[in-house]
Amino acid sequence: MNYEEPDYGESLRSAARLQQLAPDAVLVDDFATPPHQGKPRTLERRLSAVLDAFASDPEWVLNRAASGRVNLGELGGIEAGVRQMIRVGPLEVQEIALPAGGSIRVPTAAESLRIKAWLIVRRNQVRDFLDVAALSGEFGIGWSATTLRGIDAYYYAGKSGQDRVASQVVRQLSDPRPTDFHAKLPASAPWTDWDHGVLQCQALADAMLSLDGPQRDRSPLELGFRNLSITPGDPVEAWGVEGILTAIDRGSLYYWHKIVDAVRTDPNGTVAQDLSQAVEIAEDHGIVALMRRLLKA
């Protein structure tokens, strides 16, 4: 695969210029692309998007969007675009000094991971999965899982306090199915190997679901067991195959965590047996894949 080294200096100069024109603009890297010698660690990968978000106005409305971005043309020969994000507050950013003088504003490590995970939810493309895989490989699965478990505090998805965004992130990381699967992969090992990226994403999804902590105690997404005499509030041991199947298909992290805890507490118990039957009849999706990995562990 041929790869032409981009002009990082020109990218950085254009980014700095754009931030002069739009002071709240924030630069975001593509994290799965090849490193460049001499670049600072936080900017060592190809910069493919000059502008990724506006931080000053969470209620800002796009005039025209296509495939998750607005095309604003070029600035100094570098493509500029704006992501459509539903934020509940400003981006967490830091200033990076440029070798030639001046500075650019970039997201913190945690914010970069949240942005890329949100893009998985919004546009579901190969580059987004590989970016999340690369970031979690760089900063560690545990730190990344903890960061993404709290993503609902930063992105709005209809109702607050119910881990809706985090739950969807887990679904998609657990069984990556990007809409542009045949897209050209970045030329940076190990992320040239899609299977390697998938394993990293799955490990991150599993870790997110395994976490203990305050995120577990958020108000759960409302869930009902139709035509059953039990409710989601009953012990998971009483849910049976149908209850577990409903929780897998229509539940959230709160309910999935109950299943995981029960199976890990007693790998041969009632919940494990019911789960084994449920995944055999469930429609194939990310949480089903995650539960199958749980049963094989």
Strand partners, 106: 94
Considering the domain architecture, whether residues 234 and 132 belong to the same structural domain is answered as: no
- As a 3-state breakdown, the chain gives helix, strand, coil percent values, each rounded to 5, of 45, 15, 40
Looking at the predicted structure, is the pLDDT value of residue 112 above 50?
yes
Structural domain includes residue 2: no
Are residues 163 and 261 located together in one domain of the fold? no
Residues 45 and 97 in one domain: yes
Is 216 part of a structural domain of the chain? Answer: no
Condensed to tens digits (0 to 9), the pLDDT of residues 43-85 reads 433 233 333 333 333 333 333 334 444 333 333 333 334 344 4
Task: With a cut of 90, say whether residue 278 has pLDDT above it.
Answer: yes
Based on the fold, state whether residues 241 and 108 are members of the same structural domain. no
Same domain, 63 and 173: yes
| Three-state secondary-structure class, residue 252 | coil
Q: Distance (Å, rounded) from C-alpha 182 to C-alpha 92?
A: 33
- From 161, 185, 210, the end of a domain falls on 210
The reported pTM is 0.73
Question: Considering the domain boundaries, does residue 120 fall inside one?
Answer: yes
pLDDT digits (tens, 9 = 90+) for 147-183: 999 998 888 766 555 678 899 999 999 999 998 887 6
Q: Are residues 52 and 195 in the same domain?
A: yes
Instruction: State which residues form the domain around 162.
Output: 8-210
* 1 within some domain: no
Final residue of a structural domain among 210, 233, 253: 210
Of 210, 243, 258, the one marking the end of a domain is 210
pLDDT greater than 70 at residue 205: yes
Q: Is the confidence at residue 241, as pLDDT, over 90? A: yes
Q: Is residue 22 domain-shared with residue 149, that is, in the same domain?
A: yes
The reply to whether 180 and 235 lie within a common domain is no
Domain co-membership, 60 together with 130: yes
Looking at the fold, whether 240 and 202 belong to one and the same domain comes out as: no
Bridge partners of 96, per DSSP, are 104
Percent of the chain's residues with pLDDT above 90:
40
Helix axis angle, 194-210 relative to 164-174, nearest 10°? 140
pLDDT higher than threshold 90 for residue 260:
yes
Count structural domains, the chain: 2
195 within some domain: yes
Look at residue 244 and tell me if it is in a domain. Answer: yes
| Spatial separation of the C-alpha atoms in residues 174 and 201, rounded to whole Å | 6
* Listed range (90-94, 108-112, 169-173, 262-266) with the worst mean pLDDT: 90-94
Residue 215: inside a domain: no
* Two structure tokens written together for 234: 């009953």
Written as one letter, the residue type at 2 is N
Q: How confident is the model at residue 113 (pLDDT cuts 50, 70, 90)?
A: very high
The CA-atom distances, in angstroms, between 55 and each of 72, 156, 159 are 18, 15, 21
Same domain flag for 281 and 169? no
On the question of pLDDT at 223 being above 50, the answer is: yes
pLDDT recorded at residue 202: 98
Peptide bond into 6 cis (omega under 30): no
Q: How confident is the model at residue 267 (pLDDT cuts 50, 70, 90)?
A: very high
User: 260 and 204, same structural domain?
Assistant: no
Q: Chain-wide mean pLDDT for the chain? A: 74
Question: Does residue 275 lie within any of the structural domains?
Answer: yes
Q: What would the pLDDT profile of 120-153 be if each residue is shown by its tens digit? A: 988 888 989 999 999 999 999 999 999 999 998 8
